[in-house]
């Protein structure tokens, strides 16, 4: 059994309550940290642990905290990104629903490190039932002296708020989230300046993902070295993977980074192999935004090395033959899956969710959806394939936020690896996989 940091006690009845969480050692990291560490020492410990952001980009958490502007008297804010809306990704809600106090404990530690006096958990609007659970847990933390004035007599005070979004994917992008938290339309901001300098209410702000934050109590309890000893290369620690699609055991798994992809897909401990004994065709390894890889490239790199579940191994080969760990949404497709139809579904999503500020994204995502619909319904022409590639190329890198890239990468990779399937749709004037 792999090391468990996040799901260790997840099946303990009543874990969402303060009593049970506390009985299992909960909030001991706050007690230890407020007594023994200065805020800068907490940042140093997180840096040393090598913890990388689990929201998609994998940016080192401690390094991001180090960018915060401490030279002004302005308030600083620590914000938890609980917007989780990436198709295929459903791991954060598991923590929020079943183990909210671990997230709250992580919020206290991060807020202390940054010197924040007010912090926020921004939660996706559709997860209202999780918001209720978190609000109850926040209330319990206040009543037991872990939030509010002068926490445990340390002199440090913190208020924590949980704020619902209204169900827009773009509000997961950190600057759109900040705009939304300020009560405005969730439009991404042009960067720089980055939130560490100009963030919420124009004050220094760090935004971290739920899973990133939920790792903090373990790191402060067990030390940076113990955390860094888990994993492989620059992929330290464990990672939650939400696995779905044509597999025998869809679900949420905590893996040690470095696990071979083959073992993740085929072993009974994880996905349990392909449904009905069919053949693996393709995998989208890190949520809908990352390049799709065919079976041979998800199991082995272009050099023939076994592909591992790590930031480095999954991206080995760049976008020619690699992909990304992303947010950990692992979507498995068997031989019956139509790549064009899958891509059409993703593209419809991105078109719908584009905020509309930049023309390449606003117009391009719509064109991609239309062309894919044409090909999928048997009315496409061979020129459409190159047209799709061209549109994707013109979106990539030319927009305010990475939603544009997220819409372009799946298109480029699907054509790169499955061009024949696009051509067959056009030649046969129907989906070659439908009877």
Ligand X SMILES: Cc1cc2nc3c(=O)[nH]c(=O)nc-3n(C[C@H](O)[C@H](O)[C@H](O)COP(=O)(O)O)c2cc1C
Q: With respect to ligand SF4, which residue has the nearer C-beta, 334 or 353?
A: 353
Binding to ligand SF4, residues 361-390 (CB under 6 A): 361-362
Cα→Cα distances 186→130, 176, 324, 400, 402, Å: 21, 4, 26, 13, 14
Q: How far is the CB of 223 from ligand X (least distance, A)?
A: 21
Q: With respect to ligand X, which residue has the nearer C-beta, 83 or 334?
A: 83
Asked if residue 128 binds ligand X (CB under 6 A), the reply is no
Decide which of ligand SF4, ligand X, none touches 59; Cβ closer than 5 to 8 Å per partner kind.
Answer: ligand X
Cis peptide before 429, with omega less than 30 degrees from 0?
no
- Whether residue 354 contacts residue 343, with contact meaning beta carbons closer than 8 Å, is answered with no
Asked if residue 288 binds ligand X (CB under 6 A), the reply is no
Name the token pair of 99. Answer: 């183990």
Choose which of 356, 381, 386, 420 interacts with ligand SF4 (CB under 6 A).
356
- Euclidean distance between CA atoms 188 and 178, whole angstroms: 9
Decide which of ligand SF4, ligand X, none touches 310; Cβ closer than 5 to 8 Å per partner kind.
Answer: none
Q: How far is the CB of 361 from ligand SF4 (least distance, A)?
A: 3
Exposure on the CB side of residue 351, measured as CA atoms within 13 A:
19
Asked if residue 401 binds ligand SF4 (CB under 6 A), the reply is yes
The distance of Cα 347 from the centroid of its chain, to the nearest Å, equals 19
The residue with tokens 């022409």 is 381
Decide which of ligand SF4, ligand X, none touches 200; Cβ closer than 5 to 8 Å per partner kind.
Answer: none
- Whether residue 369 contacts residue 327, with contact meaning beta carbons closer than 8 Å, is answered with no
Q: With respect to ligand X, which residue has the nearer C-beta, 189 or 281?
A: 189
Q: Looking at beta carbons, which residue is closest to ligand SF4?
A: 361
- Euclidean distance between CA atoms 106 and 96, whole angstroms: 12
Q: How far is the CB of 31 from ligand SF4 (least distance, A)?
A: 42
- Whether residue 99 contacts residue 218, with contact meaning beta carbons closer than 8 Å, is answered with no
Give the count of residues interacting with ligand SF4 (CB under 6 A). Answer: 14
Q: How far is the CB of 298 from ligand X (least distance, A)?
A: 23
Choose which of 209, 310, 365, 413 interacts with ligand X (CB under 6 A).
209
- Whether residue 268 contacts residue 275, with contact meaning beta carbons closer than 8 Å, is answered with no
Decide which of ligand X, ligand SF4, none touches 212; Cβ closer than 5 to 8 Å per partner kind.
Answer: ligand X
Q: With respect to ligand X, which residue has the nearer C-beta, 54 or 307?
A: 54
Name the token pair of 44. Answer: 């140093």
* DSSP per-residue codes, 325-385: -TT-EEEEEETT--HHHHHHHHHHHHHHH--S-SHHHHHHHHHHHHHHHHHHTT---HHHH
- Euclidean distance between CA atoms 274 and 6, whole angstroms: 26
The binding track of 80-109 with respect to ligand X, each residue x by CB under 6 A or -, is: -x-xxxx-----------------------
Q: How far is the CB of 43 from ligand X (least distance, A)?
A: 14
Count Cβ atoms below 10 Å from residue 381 Cβ, excluding itself. 11
Choose which of 165, 195, 404, 410 interacts with ligand SF4 (CB under 6 A).
404
Asked if residue 54 binds ligand X (CB under 6 A), the reply is yes
- Euclidean distance between CA atoms 387 and 217, whole angstroms: 49
Give the count of residues interacting with ligand X (CB under 6 A). Answer: 24
The piece of 167-175, 249-257, 370-378, 381-389 that touches ligand X (CB under 6 A) is: 167-175
Cis peptide before 192, with omega less than 30 degrees from 0?
yes
82 DSSP β-pair partners: 123
Decide which of ligand SF4, ligand X, none touches 362; Cβ closer than 5 to 8 Å per partner kind.
Answer: ligand SF4
The phi-psi region of residue 149 (left if phi > 0; otherwise alpha if psi is between -120 and 50; otherwise beta) is beta
Q: With respect to ligand X, which residue has the nearer C-beta, 239 or 417?
A: 239
Name the token pair of 111. Answer: 């807020």
* List of residues contacting ligand X (CB under 6 A): 53-57, 59, 81, 83-86, 169-170, 172-174, 207-209, 212, 401-403, 406
* List of residues contacting ligand SF4 (CB under 6 A): 170, 188, 354-358, 361-362, 399-401, 403-404
């Amino acid at each position: 059994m792999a090391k468990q940091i996040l799901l260790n006690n997840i099946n303990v009845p009543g874990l969402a309550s303060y009593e049970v969480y506390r009985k299992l050692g909960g909030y001991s990291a706050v007690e230890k940290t407020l007594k023994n560490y200065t805020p800068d020492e907490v940042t140093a410990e997180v840096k040393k642990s090598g913890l990388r952001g689990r929201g998609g980009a994998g940016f080192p958490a401690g390094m991001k905290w180090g960018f915060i502007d401490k030279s002004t008297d302005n308030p600083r804010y620590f914000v938890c990104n609980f917007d989780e809306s990436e198709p295929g990704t459903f791991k954060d809600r598991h923590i929020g629903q079943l183990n909210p106090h671990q997230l709250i404990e992580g919020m206290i530690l991060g807020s202390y490190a940054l010197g924040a006096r007010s912090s926020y958990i921004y939660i996706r609007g559709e997860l209202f039932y999780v918001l209720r659970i978190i609000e109850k847990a926040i209330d319990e933390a206040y009543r037991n002296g872990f939030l509010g004035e002068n926490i445990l007599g340390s002199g440090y005070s913190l208020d924590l708020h949980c704020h619902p979004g209204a169900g827009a994917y773009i509000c997961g992008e950190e600057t759109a989230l900040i705009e939304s938290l300020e009560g405005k339309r969730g439009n991404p901001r042009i960067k720089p300046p980055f939130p560490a300098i100009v963030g919420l209410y124009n004050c220094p702000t760090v935004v971290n993902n739920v899973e990133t934050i939920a790792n903090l109590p373990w790191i402060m309890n067990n030390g940076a070295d113990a955390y860094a000893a888990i994993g492989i290369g620059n992929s330290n620690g464990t990672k939650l993977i939400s696995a779905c699609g044509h597999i025998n055991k869809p679900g949420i798994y905590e893996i040690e980074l470095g696990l071979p992809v083959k073992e993740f897909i085929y072993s009974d401990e994880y996905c349990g192999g392909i449904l009905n004994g069919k053949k693996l065709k393709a995998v989208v390894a890190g949520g809908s935004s990352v390049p799709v890889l065919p079976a041979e490239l998800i199991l082995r790199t272009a050099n023939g090395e076994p592909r591992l579940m790590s930031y480095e191994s999954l991206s080995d080969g760049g976008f020619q033959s690699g992909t990304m760990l992303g947010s950990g949404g692992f979507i498995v497709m068997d031989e019956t899956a139509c790549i064009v139809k899958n891509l059409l579904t993703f593209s419809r999503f991105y078109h719908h969710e584009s905020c509309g500020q930049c023309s390449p994204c606003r117009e391009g995502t719509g064109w991609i959806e239309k062309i894919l619909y044409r090909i999928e319904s048997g009315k496409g022409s061979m020129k459409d394939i190159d047209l799709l590639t061209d549109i994707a190329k013109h979106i990539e890198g030319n927009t305010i936020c990475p939603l544009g890239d997220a819409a372009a990468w799946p298109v480029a990779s699907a054509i790169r690896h499955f061009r024949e399937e696009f051509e067959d749709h056009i030649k046969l004037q129907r989906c070659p996989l439908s009877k």
